Structure 1
Amino acid sequence: MIYIRSLFVGVLGSLLALASPAPAAQSSFSGSLHVIDGDTFDVGDVRVRLFGVDAPEQGQTCGGDGTPQWSCGAWVTDEVRARYDGRRARCERLDTDRYGRAVARCSVDGKDMGRTLVSEGLLFAYRDYSMDYDLDEKRAAVRGVGLHGAQVQRPAAYRAETRRAANAAALEEAPEGCVIKGNISSKGARIYHSPGQQHYGPTRIDESEGERWFCSAAEAEAAGWRPARR
């Protein structure tokens, strides 16, 4: 009887453990900060995308209309690195993005990094996600500080334009009438990308690796490929 009771308790404990939800991602964390680019950092061992702001892409250039082109994306990264690299940051996780990064509000010495960098004209308020730094950006623009003193395209517009150009180039490479890309991921997943999707332009087809073009989504799915999520 004792053996049966012990076995029952053990089985019940295992079932409860399986039913228990996994622990939630840590909401608050801190650590030494390592700058990846203007709005992306490692804080300790956590990759962070700073909440509510947007930085020029690393390869983005600014200028035009008579103004010389210059590497504003790389400049912003250097400026943010000079201010923050190696310092201790405290962060509050608000979300997790599709790349697995913690979307977080972070501070150094008690000062909100997003607000500081937007106020100095190094980052833009990302109004699609938050209006928290809207007035800070407007004040920086009036003062003409940082990026606001140059011909600069907002990062989101630059990314959209880059995707359109990549998509157009990809369509020129496609066999006539067969524009769907059947890609094989590093994990062996067979995924097809249609024109207009986020990763259509950058995706390259290597037929020697079993990748191929399709003339329709139905053809791709019949061959065992699934649609890309974005």
Structure 2
Amino acid sequence: MTRSGRLFRDGVTTFALLALLALLAWKLNNRPELIQTGRFYVVDGDTLAQGGERFRLRGIDAPEYRQQCQRNGADWACGEEARRALDRFMKTGAPECRGNEKDRYGRLLVICKAGDVDINAAMVRSGMAVSYGGYTAEEAVARQAKAGLWAGNFERPRDYRREEQMQHASSGDPLGGLVDYLRKLVGWGNDDDGR
């Protein structure tokens, strides 16, 4: 085979591989939207479960279930309150949660609605979650009204999670860190996951 023949063959092969990679990338980015309806179990202020699957509310970050905040100089269970708020919103109608991407823990990232009410936005507007890549206008409304978390002092949920991880790591308890890692791996723990 001549040199020009090899160059032509290599060029065609390279082009075919690039075309195949482009087709694969297009297919992966063109995932169908998944729609979940029915009854959901509220895990915490931004996580739902149904039939063994976990769903993460897209664009928001709510306090962790055990997280404490301060209001009027006293601690209050803001994580528990965020969970109750999401539970109330999920019961306002027949919720429908839609999404087509998963986070690094395999949870479907969803926007939930009950009728015309965007539940993700309602959580932020009520001050029971902060904006995390979306819902900045709703967060501004909550801040202005001093609603929920904004009525006092609180640690951002991602910072709270980071501190908890550092405490486990510095406590010298290797099993505690391993358990936390396994919980996150199977989606039982909330972590900073690009929400």
TM (normalized to structure 1)?
0.58
Q: 1:31 touches 1:44 (CA, 8 Å); kept in 2?
A: no
Counterpart of 2:178, as a letter, is T
Distance 2:99 2:51 in 1: 14
What is aligned with 1:63?
70
Helix, strand or coil: the match of 1:32? Answer: coil
Q: 2:61 touches 2:131 (CA, 8 Å); kept in 1?
A: yes
Which blocks of at least 5 consecutive residues in structure 1 are unaligned? 1-20, 174-180, 184-200, 205-230
Deviation at 1:100, TM superposition (A): 2.1
Distance 1:45 1:26 in 2: 19
Deviation at 1:43, TM superposition (A): 4.9
Identify the match of residue 150 of structure 2 among 117, 128, 148: 148
What is aligned with 2:160?
158
Equivalent residue pairs, number: 150
Counterpart of 1:202, as a letter, is G
Identify the match of residue 178 of structure 2 among 203, 207, 226: 203
What is aligned with 1:30?
37
Counterpart of 1:155, as a letter, is P
Counterpart of 1:112, as a letter, is D
Q: Map 1:182-201; keep pairs closer than 5 Å.
A: none
Counterpart of 2:149, as a letter, is L
TM (normalized to structure 2)?
0.67
What is aligned with 1:190?
none
Structure 1 or 2, whichever has the larger Rg, is 1
Q: 1:46 to 1:85 in 2, by over 3 A?
A: farther
Helix, strand or coil: the match of 1:59? Answer: coil
Deviation at 1:135, TM superposition (A): 1.7
Q: 2:92 touches 2:114 (CA, 8 Å); kept in 1?
A: no
What is aligned with 1:228?
none
What is aligned with 2:188?
none
Aligned residues with identical type, % of pairs? 28
Distance 1:92 1:84 in 2: 14
Deviation at 1:81, TM superposition (A): 1.6
Shifted more, 26-35 versus 52-61: the winner is: 26-35
Q: CA RMSD in A?
A: 2.6
Distance 1:45 1:119 in 2: 29
Identify the match of residue 108 of structure 2 among 102, 111, 124: 102
* 1:82 maps to 2:57: no
The structure whose RCO (Cα within 8 Å, separation 6+) is larger is 2
* 1:118 maps to 2:124: yes
Which blocks of at least 5 consecutive residues in structure 2 are unaligned? 1-26, 180-195
What is aligned with 1:40?
47
Distance 1:103 1:90 in 2: 13
